[in-house]
Structure 1
């Protein structure tokens, strides 16, 4: 590999990449992606990577700042890889994400929405209620690091706080680091996952060796002092068990629909509680479930959408591939007293036509797939039965691909699409789209 040229060079930023880096051009036309630079700026940059079709660099001096540049709130910004856009005005962040969505729809799906939905936003700080903190003992520093990965994922960022995480967790990262550093097993703890319900916050400590009594006592004392619930994970997902207290209650409420969802400490829940409730309302507004309709909710998780929909529809069938989530969803159905909801475990990468719950037709479809999208499901479902499809997406490229399939091959209409800022200050783009048959 050729050596990098570390001589600073001037660059004029014309655009923003999907991951939040500024785009410039070398004199020979080669693209260069510059971390820490914003559209409209002139910067001095230093090369950090070289590829055949583009170079990578980081800004070392801002010669002319864009009006939208703001001072990052976090002192760790630029080192920690958890955020990419803290230096960009919040109102412009969501517009940049909207542009990413629309460009993906056009470039990948060759489709244009008939209407652009107003962007959904909520609290931009202290919103993150679920995440994974990496842990690494660094002998050269004489300390144990607990934090998110750096931009170079080989390294754990040396941080003491995080402003995007719920304050009850984000303000205590330094304390968590000191706790782990005091443990005998500190070199055998690779990660700590956090998750917050309305009334409890859980930390799940992954450990590669059995913990001694002294370490267990330290964890339990930390839980009592800071109001955390501590779980231990000595092996796979099934090995997770509470340490302190014995039976913590993890749940969050959706008051607008009189729903409470219980969950386990490693379950998937939407990261941003406030945005989640706005997203559910938008989904209901677009789906418009009616008292005589039967709705199919695929990739349904714990029932985050399923149970609110059931307040309005005749029947809702939720389907999820994770057996543990299906068990929790069924518990949530009983916990909330629903009688018009079914939940089924099924591999959504296989043909569903033989499933008994598919024998009666549906009126509307909700999709909330993972990053890989819903292409297989859409290709194998009898789409003619649906009067409307609402698609919630965590990856604009897979939504664009699936939208292209629906519009260009199946002759549906993309009635509307828009973005939702589930992860402010990051480059993550969450979006929603509604389709109807022509």
Structure 2
């Protein structure tokens, strides 16, 4: 007979703790009986009482249930669902303090991991902290006991869908219509077979992509069509993998949302499943800052790595002028095709769009054997370790690195500075995700003559 695994009983009751600092994930750091304890909803300098959520070998997890000595930076969360929904982690911290925390985290990682400090600190890019999120994946669950559908983000520390009726960080065109969306799905025969809805909001309208595990009936399709007409949404259906995404109305035109980058006379269309920076205002300013610091000159040859739909490469093509060129490299073939189509739609002719695995660069690829004046890269969380020596051999005068993970950024920047003779001219954060622990940052490197 198999032995049953004994479940360790967590300490019961409330326990006092003094919060020393804040983790990258937004949890307060304390030491309780000498053991590191990470406490949710607690801020540096506070004395709190907390309950245990988990105990592990080297650290414990808990959540604050009372604050005996509050931080002057503590604020009342702006969302009534903050302590239930897992979408945000830092609403109890003043927005300006959130930015300072993220900036300190970036510089600490650069110094500790990369062993480098910037010559100049960039002014943080920040904007509205509410209604900023234009891209999201919403979970859907039919609650049999309540006889209704829940639509939203996951509960904090759980796989269950949080019971929320609004989301103030979502674009209000969607965030204020979650009950209507839930009611629409609840009235469908396929309500048990829709696990998620992906949101993509453009400058003009929002698109919703419904993942459905079984074919939809004509009645369900009609219900979605009526919902779209009433609320001004474009509806997409996804029966399987990403390549099965189609508009609800076959052959429909202009259903894809888009956003403009006016200083560069560029418009980019996208689907709710595409990777698009979630914060439209910060994205526009980020692109302008990146191109300004890249110091692109007419006639320059520019390399854009992890190019996606062309968020940077199309504006870069405008900046280089007709005598310059941009090589945009991306691993996803569909994204490369979309980027090429966007260039054509914007009548941009000086871009080259290449499919390339940037985590396993193929030295035989022609674009890898060329030299470039400037390089811009915007990798995923894993960073661009494999491309660092390749970029160094290309000998660009300037590099702008946009990052969503300060640890991998610090590692790569350290390699460029310590091993390949670059200087870290500037670094700073961009508050792309207010109220969350995500740290978006930008650094500028220049060849050291």
Superposition TM-score, scaled by structure 2 size: 0.95
2:80 paired residue number: 75
* SS of equivalent to 1:383: helix
Structure 1 residues without counterparts, runs of 5 or longer: none
Are 2:319 and 1:312 equivalent residues in the alignment?
A: yes
SS in 2 for 1:312: helix
Q: Deviations over 1:37-96 (max 9, x none)?
A: 111111111111101111111111111111111111111001100001111111100000
| Stretch deviating more after TM superposition (139-148 or 224-233) | 139-148
Distance 1:208 1:230, change over 3 A: same
Q: For residue 383 of structure 1, what is the aligned residue in structure 2?
A: 393
How many residue pairs match? The answer is: 437
* Worse overlay, 238-247 or 321-330: 238-247
Give the conservation status (yes or no) of the 8 Å contact 1:129–1:166.
yes
**Aligned equivalents of 1:201, 1:379: Cα separation in 2:** 41
| Structure 2 CA distance for partners of 1:193 and 1:384, relative to 1, 3 Å | closer
Check whether the contact 1:41–1:65 (CA below 8 A) recurs between aligned residues: yes
CA contact (8 A) 1:205 1:232 kept: yes
Deviations 1:150-178 (A, max 9, x none): 12232111111100000000000111111
Which residue number corresponds to residue 339 of structure 2?
329
| Residue matched to 1:264 | 271
1:51 aligns with 2:51: no
> Which whole-Å deviations, capped at 9, do the CAs of 1:107-133 have from their partners, x for residues lacking one?
222222222111111211101000100
CA contact (8 A) 1:251 1:260 kept: yes
User: 1:104 maps to what in 2?
Assistant: 109
Contact 2:129 2:434 in 1 (8 A): yes
CA–CA distance in structure 1, aligned partners of residues 140 and 391 of structure 2:
43
> Match for residue 201 of structure 2?
196
Which residue, 275, 285, 297 being the options, matches 1:290?
297
1:4 is aligned to 10
Preserved contact between residue 353 and residue 381 of structure 1 (Cα < 8 Å): no
SS of structure 1 residue aligned to 2:376: strand
Counterpart for residue 432 of structure 2? 422
The more displaced of 106-115 and 144-153 is: 106-115
Q: Is the 8 A contact 1:120 1:420 kept in 2?
A: yes
User: Is the Cα contact below 8 Å between 1:352 and 1:380 reproduced in 2?
Assistant: no
**Greater mean alpha carbon deviation, residues 353-362 or residues 180-189:** 353-362
Aligned pair 1:35/2:40, yes or no? Answer: yes
Unmatched tracts of structure 2, length 5 or more? 1-6
Q: Deviations over 1:254-307 (max 9, x none)?
A: 111111112223111110000001101110121010013101000011111111
Paired residues of 2:423 and 2:446 also in contact (CA < 8 A): yes
1:411 shift after superposition: 2.7
Residue 156 of structure 2, aligned match among 151, 155, 158:
151
* Contact persistence 2:115–2:414 (CA under 8 A): yes
Helix, strand or coil for the counterpart of 2:235?
strand
Pairing of 1:1-400 with structure 2 (within 5 A): 1-26=7-32, 28-244=33-249, 246-247=252-253, 248-313=255-320, 314-400=324-410
Counterparts of 2:411 and 2:160, CA distance in 1: 34
Aligned 8 A contact 1:412 1:436 in 2: yes
Q: CA deviation at 1:400?
A: 1.0
Displacement of 1:405 after TM fit?
A: 1.2
Please state whether the residue corresponding to 1:176 is helix, strand or coil. helix
